[in-house]
Amino acid sequence: MSRFNAQVDARIYPPREKHVVIFDTFNKLMSGEEMELLNDHDPRPLHYQFLAEYDGQFEWEYLEQGPEEWRVAIKKK
């Protein structure tokens, strides 16, 4: 059984759709649930956007940090 309730592979989406899909997935999580984000670069700008829009409402944990793949666990508080 996976630790994650949802997964977003951002690599398959056009750039303009990535954040929309990621935030939509996060918003569907219940408190305490986690999603896994896969990306081909460091999603640091996304982390800053989460801090701006959801400060105190999530946990961000890098599971893998490149060089070819980044994996992040994002937990809804």
Per-residue pLDDT, 29: 98
For 50-70, what is the mean pLDDT? 97
**Which 3-state string (H, E, C) describes 32-74?**
CCEEEEEECCCCHHHHHHHHHHHCCCEEEEEEEECCCCEEEEE
Residue 65 neighbours by CB under 8 Å, 6+ apart: 42
Per-residue pLDDT, 1: 65
pLDDT tens for residues 3-47?
Answer: 999 999 999 999 999 999 999 999 999 999 999 999 999 999 999
Per-residue pLDDT, 2: 82
Query: Which tops the pLDDT comparison, 24 or 2?
Result: 24
